[in-house]
Amino acid sequence: MNNPSSNKGSVNIILVIIIVLLLGTVGYLATRTPSPLPAPANEAPDYNANENKIISDLLSSWVATQAKFAIKASESGTYNQPNKVQFIASTTLLVHYDDGLVDHISVLRYQNGTLTELKNVGVMSTMPQDAWQALVDVYGDSKYPVGSYTTNVFRNGKGIEYPELTKVPENIFVR
């Protein structure tokens, strides 16, 4: 015959083991540091914030920046603020500006809060596709999504004016 008190002791031991295992599992899960989840592959970085910061710095430092250009402004001695900016890398941009008479394009690099002219592209407002691509190949980053900002664009047969530099889908430097 089975002894009821020995069965009761076995059940208590099994319950204690189950409770200890449960408490151990809960304690482990509560104290372990979860590993970070990788970012989804389709999630793109926010380029706009970086570009907006650089544009703001460009506009606020324009007088000092353009004073160091290889080609100086003619009659007025100062170039007008840029009306076209295109990012060809995260810190490299094409900039269109004029002196009231003549259009110019330069390649600028933003580094440590300062903009430096890398190249004066020339007296022009746009260029052929192959000339633009050559600039991107030398100064740009082929993996960077080009970001174009302008105060005016010609779209669907109509001219569109913006009060400030505005991001647009067109390649504003290619004719």
3-19 per-position pLDDT tens digit: 655 666 777 788 888 88
Alpha-carbon distance of 152 to 157, in angstroms, equals 13
Alpha-carbon distance of 50 to 44, in angstroms, equals 13
Domain residue extents for the chain: 47-168
pTM: 0.73
24-77 per-position pLDDT tens digit: 777 777 777 665 555 555 655 678 889 999 999 999 999 999 999 999 888 778
Please count the other Cβ atoms lying within 10 Å of the Cβ belonging to residue 125.
16
Q: What pLDDT is recorded for position 38?
A: 59
Lowest-confidence region among 19-28, 60-69, 85-94, 96-105: 19-28
Joined tokens for residue 130: 């192959």
Alpha-carbon distance of 10 to 104, in angstroms, equals 91
Alpha-carbon distance of 25 to 29, in angstroms, equals 6
